[in-house]
Chain A
């Protein structure tokens, strides 16, 4: 099944001049995609380039007839009328947001909609046996009766793949499969995809993490503005990240981080002995006596694996919005602060840009101007009445200065791309004029061009003498942006490195080991 020479492999899928129009907008125009049997094919492009739309055409979400062009799969022109039809042909798509039901067990999820039936009754014994086999194939050691909600996101991703395998998948489409995973889970998943390739399963992978693509993909098709730009053969063409970025943005990015001369002042903010308990589990600590400080004009990075307690630390400092406070002090400009709720934290000059933009950071029903002023309504109210004119002026000001791409500040935030949504969230916190701004995964799910702009905004804030904390799972981002980096492991701060001393290796070492000396 495996082959050493991918060039000679037969073509499994060919999408020929696919054009998909929505009223007024051409989402895809004349896109071509050729996927060879047994390869891992990556699709790269900025947000809004049309990757997801293309995959929806392929999987039948947009049925035959709603687009122009041909899908040739296994040498036949296909006319999928819905997802079931494409699944029947062996094309399975795994979305970024997992489609698992938290209350049901692993087995129940794997066989959902596909239950083995004996005389009209579900044969659970059979299902359990088969799900054990499937779990073994994806390398997941869990009891098949475990409810989905009790296993982590990384393992849930594996269950999704097991579910796909159960449908005798030939072409597996993964949309941002590692976006929510930590490094080791990501690596496990990538190895699994490689393993599936060994067993003849072709994969299409969409990812913003270019290093992963470079690592596992055989071919890369780049899509820009709804057009397929080029297809690169990773091994033959000697593709690296810069080459991919060049294709995605249509120009070479000189540097992935804007130039920045830090102007660091005295200590602005300091946390001592910060200890916080888990909100539900009585004896579990999520922060164990953490000490850290931030100086004026300094960008401080927080590195840690997912679940290490980075977000928990940030949120508990931000007005105790997470966990049970146990002990610790917060000092700003040398004065102790007692922040018991978010309102007090904001009033004391703290800001927190949440990790999960959609579920924690934004009200997706709101428009841009309402969102922009929502954390600092006080600044535009007379008495209790919101001054609509000021609101508009403020939002307009930030739209211009952050270069948010939108026809108007009265547009709903749900309609913006990820990068522009993040700019609106940043505007919201910039308008509160915080002295210390905590940014939790500020560039997650954002394309390269917008990332560059957001880095620029972060540096500007530091230049204004504010303290900035950046929490990120992407080490290159932390290394490029921060002046100093703390590492966190299992709720404890395990080290702090200056920018010049830090490397991915030294950080990773501290992120994965308990502190040696107290």
Chain B
């Protein structure tokens, strides 16, 4: 069972979330009599949630660094309306509109980053102010009107991969994308295994790797099949593509680069990070700025999808993004969290939303259920940490643990960090 945990890179919390996501999908698949895993519904799910998931990517970095951003919905709306106006009134082309939107996002981010990092005002306050400010700007600039955007701009929010090549009955580009993803997963897994072996680090058994690859690739191929066989004219959606690229880039930044290390370091212990040469103000500035750029992007995608910008775009998005991050295993105190975990957390919420809708559950009940899911997911995390256990899966499989593995060094110390601090020294 230990080996099974290793399937997902030893991150049992993430494993638990993926397990929950799969269980949820299977449950709804049965409950809705197969209406969940249809091409149309899956495409819809991605289209309707990509902007929240993009926000979650930025938000997890903000939360890892020990901050929070409440302004993302307002920032998204302000950027959306500005870009829509610029395209309509100044007649700039769609790509210039996107560049303008990203630049405006960066400017807003620099503003909030300045107050947070250099003046030292808690991000909660800065972005609470930002939430009001930019909502106000949105309605002021747009005069609380709905501003339509042209169809080529709509492509980023509601477009699909085009049909190219011979008629195979599938969308060829989607197929290609799926196959590339499979090849990438297999290649990177085998490569990291080989180098770990060469270094003498512990590597999982061969069958574990094989099972993991079969499961992951199977899931990718199945998703590819769903996306490639949608009703004519649809295929893998452009927002999904943007999301996938961002997940790859930010996942890489967070786990493999110096900047990523510094974000975790600042969130984990700012003083220790500073005394190790990390320029924490710069790091804080960057995460706040990055968040606003992604919020701008999310706002533009939403405008593209809904074909117009409106005065109430993005209301409540910040809460959805924050919920996704915390369900995905981040810690309120900072220093903990992953990009992929937040995406999984966001997908759990999205699937829940979608499944309940398909079942005809009302918005009132849906909110109640979502609230409880958030609470229970985090409560589980807190409880397990206080018990020195790792996850729901770890608990279920306790009896199967091999005696040699998984025994903590000093069980006395596998409690919360705070307790460890007070006990030691």
Nearest Cβ in chain B — how far from A360, in angstroms?
5
Q: Please give, as numbers and ranges, the residues of chain B lying within 8 Å of A428 by CB-CB distance.
A: 276
Contact of B425 among A27, A53, A96, A346 (CB under 8 A): A96
- CB-CB contacts below 8 Å: A80-95 with B: 95
Nearest Cβ in chain B — how far from A57, in angstroms?
12
Q: Residue A104 at the B interface, CB < 8 A?
A: no
Given A370-B261, A381-B258, A414-B417, the answer on whether A321 and B407 have CB atoms closer than 8 Å is no
Q: Please give, as numbers and ranges, the residues of chain A lying within 8 Å of B260 by CB-CB distance.
A: 386
B336 touches A365 (CB 8 A): yes
A414 touches B272 (CB 8 A): no
Nearest Cβ in chain B — how far from A385, in angstroms?
5
Q: How many residues in A have their beta carbons less than 8 Å from beta carbons of B?
A: 61
Q: Residue A399 at the B interface, CB < 8 A?
A: no
- CB-CB contacts below 8 Å: B331-354 with A: 335-336
B336 touches A385 (CB 8 A): no
Q: Residue A179 at the B interface, CB < 8 A?
A: yes
A357 touches B425 (CB 8 A): yes
- CB-CB contacts below 8 Å: A468-500 with B: none
Q: Please give, as numbers and ranges, the residues of chain A lying within 8 Å of B195 by CB-CB distance.
A: 389
- CB-CB contacts below 8 Å: B161-204 with A: 195, 199-202
Given A407-B409, A414-B420, the answer on whether A384 and B257 have CB atoms closer than 8 Å is yes
How far is B410's CA from A407's CA once the two chains are assembled, in angstroms? 11
Given A363-B335, A386-B256, A388-B256, the answer on whether A24 and B407 have CB atoms closer than 8 Å is yes
1/0 per position for B229-268, CB-CB distance to A under 8 A?
0000000000000000000000000001111110011001
Q: Please give, as numbers and ranges, the residues of chain B lying within 8 Å of A362 by CB-CB distance.
A: 269, 272
Q: Please give, as numbers and ranges, the residues of chain B lying within 8 Å of A354 by CB-CB distance.
A: 272, 275
Q: Residue B143 at the A interface, CB < 8 A?
A: no
Interface Cβ pair total, 8 Å cutoff: 142
B261 touches A374 (CB 8 A): yes
Q: Please give, as numbers and ranges, the residues of chain A lying within 8 Å of B273 by CB-CB distance.
A: 363, 374
B279 touches A341 (CB 8 A): yes
Q: Residue A359 at the B interface, CB < 8 A?
A: yes
Q: Residue B424 at the A interface, CB < 8 A?
A: yes
Nearest Cβ in chain A — how far from B399, in angstroms?
12
Q: Please give, as numbers and ranges, the residues of chain A lying within 8 Å of B259 by CB-CB distance.
A: 384
Q: Residue B274 at the A interface, CB < 8 A?
A: yes
B268 touches A363 (CB 8 A): yes
Q: How many residues in B have their beta carbons less than 8 Å from beta carbons of A?
A: 42
Q: Residue B413 at the A interface, CB < 8 A?
A: yes
Contact of A25 among B201, B257, B411 (CB under 8 A): B411
B421 touches A377 (CB 8 A): no
Q: Please give, as numbers and ranges, the residues of chain A lying within 8 Å of B410 by CB-CB distance.
A: 22, 25, 27, 48, 415, 417
A386 touches B265 (CB 8 A): no
A24 touches B271 (CB 8 A): no
How far is B18's CA from A212's CA once the two chains are assembled, in angstroms? 55
Q: Residue A361 at the B interface, CB < 8 A?
A: yes
Q: Residue B208 at the A interface, CB < 8 A?
A: no
Q: Residue B412 at the A interface, CB < 8 A?
A: yes
Nearest Cβ in chain B — how far from A375, in angstroms?
4
Nearest Cβ in chain A — how far from B255, in angstroms?
9
The residue on B at minimum CB distance from A53 is: B412
Q: Residue A514 at the B interface, CB < 8 A?
A: no
1/0 per position for A403-436, CB-CB distance to B under 8 A?
0001110010011111001000000100000000
Q: Please give, as numbers and ranges, the residues of chain A lying within 8 Å of B420 by CB-CB distance.
A: 364, 414-415
Nearest Cβ in chain A — how far from B91, in angstroms?
39
B411 touches A358 (CB 8 A): no
1/0 per position for A328-346, CB-CB distance to B under 8 A?
0000000000000111011
How far is B335's CA from A347's CA once the two chains are assembled, in angstroms? 26
B425 touches A418 (CB 8 A): yes
B199 touches A392 (CB 8 A): yes
Given A343-B277, A417-B424, A445-B424, the answer on whether A389 and B261 have CB atoms closer than 8 Å is no
Q: Residue A132 at the B interface, CB < 8 A?
A: no
Q: Residue A366 at the B interface, CB < 8 A?
A: yes
Q: Please give, as numbers and ranges, the residues of chain A lying within 8 Å of B423 by CB-CB distance.
A: 52
Q: Please give, as numbers and ranges, the residues of chain B lying within 8 Å of A455 by CB-CB distance.
A: none
Nearest Cβ in chain B — how far from A350, in angstroms?
10
Q: Residue B362 at the A interface, CB < 8 A?
A: no
Q: Residue B414 at the A interface, CB < 8 A?
A: yes
Q: Please give, as numbers and ranges, the residues of chain B lying within 8 Å of A415 by CB-CB distance.
A: 408-410, 413-414, 420
Q: Please give, as numbers and ranges, the residues of chain A lying within 8 Å of B269 by CB-CB distance.
A: 359-360, 362-365
How far is B411's CA from A269's CA once the two chains are assembled, in angstroms? 45
Given A48-B410, A415-B409, the answer on whether A95 and B422 have CB atoms closer than 8 Å is yes
Q: Please give, as numbers and ranges, the residues of chain B lying within 8 Å of A374 by CB-CB distance.
A: 261, 265, 273, 276
Nearest Cβ in chain A — how far from B88, in angstroms?
40
Contact of B268 among A319, A364, A381, A407 (CB under 8 A): A364
Nearest Cβ in chain A — how far from B218, in angstroms?
27
Q: Please give, as numbers and ranges, the residues of chain A lying within 8 Å of B202 by CB-CB distance.
A: 408
A389 touches B199 (CB 8 A): yes
A22 touches B412 (CB 8 A): yes
How far is B278's CA from A428's CA once the two chains are assembled, in angstroms? 14
Contact of A386 among B261, B272, B278 (CB under 8 A): B261
Q: Please give, as numbers and ranges, the residues of chain A lying within 8 Å of B256 by CB-CB distance.
A: 385-386, 388
Q: Please give, as numbers and ranges, the residues of chain B lying within 8 Å of A396 by CB-CB distance.
A: 199-200
The residue on A at minimum CB distance from B414 is: A415
- CB-CB contacts below 8 Å: B282-338 with A: 335-336
Chain B CB within 10 Å, residue with most, of A27, A341, A389: A389
How far is B202's CA from A406's CA once the two chains are assembled, in angstroms? 14
How far is B201's CA from A374's CA once the two chains are assembled, in angstroms? 20
Q: Residue A393 at the B interface, CB < 8 A?
A: yes
Contact of B275 among A47, A342, A406 (CB under 8 A): A342
Chain A CB within 10 Å, residue with most, of B273, B403, B417, B424: B424
Q: Please give, as numbers and ranges, the residues of chain B lying within 8 Å of A345 by CB-CB distance.
A: 277
Nearest Cβ in chain B — how far from A467, in angstroms?
19
Nearest Cβ in chain B — how far from A93, in angstroms?
12
How far is B271's CA from A357's CA once the two chains are assembled, in angstroms? 11
Q: Residue A113 at the B interface, CB < 8 A?
A: no
The residue on B at minimum CB distance from A358 is: B421
Q: Please give, as numbers and ranges, the residues of chain A lying within 8 Å of B403 by CB-CB distance.
A: 24
How far is B270's CA from A361's CA once the two chains are assembled, in angstroms? 10
Q: Residue A111 at the B interface, CB < 8 A?
A: no
Q: Please give, as numbers and ranges, the residues of chain A lying within 8 Å of B265 by CB-CB distance.
A: 363, 366, 374
Q: Please give, as numbers and ranges, the residues of chain B lying within 8 Å of A53 by CB-CB distance.
A: 412
Q: Please give, as numbers and ranges, the residues of chain B lying within 8 Å of A366 by CB-CB distance.
A: 264-265, 268
A343 touches B279 (CB 8 A): yes
A359 touches B275 (CB 8 A): no
- CB-CB contacts below 8 Å: A283-340 with B: 318-319, 321
Given A342-B275, A393-B199, the answer on whether A365 and B335 have CB atoms closer than 8 Å is yes
Q: Please give, as numbers and ranges, the residues of chain B lying within 8 Å of A227 by CB-CB distance.
A: none
Q: Please give, as numbers and ranges, the residues of chain A lying within 8 Å of B199 by CB-CB distance.
A: 389, 392-393, 396
How far is B256's CA from A381's CA once the two chains are assembled, in angstroms? 9
Contact of B424 among A346, A406, A418 (CB under 8 A): A418
The residue on B at minimum CB distance from A444 is: B425
Q: Please give, as numbers and ranges, the residues of chain A lying within 8 Å of B200 by CB-CB distance.
A: 396
The residue on B at minimum CB distance from A23 is: B411
The residue on B at minimum CB distance from A352 is: B275
A361 touches B279 (CB 8 A): no
Chain A CB within 10 Å, residue with most, of B272, B274, B278: B272
Q: Please give, as numbers and ranges, the residues of chain B lying within 8 Å of A357 by CB-CB distance.
A: 425
B409 touches A358 (CB 8 A): no
Q: Which 7 A-B pairs have the closest CB atoms?
A: A22-B411, A363-B268, A24-B407, A375-B276, A445-B425, A363-B269, A343-B277
Task: Add 4 more A-B contacts to A97-B425, A342-B275 (CB < 8 A).
Answer: A342-B276, A354-B275, A377-B261, A414-B420
Q: Give me 16 A-to-B residue pairs in the complex whose CB atoms sit less than 8 angstroms apart, sorted by A's number.
A: A23-B411, A24-B408, A24-B411, A25-B412, A359-B269, A360-B269, A365-B264, A365-B269, A366-B265, A370-B261, A381-B258, A386-B257, A389-B195, A417-B410, A417-B424, A444-B425
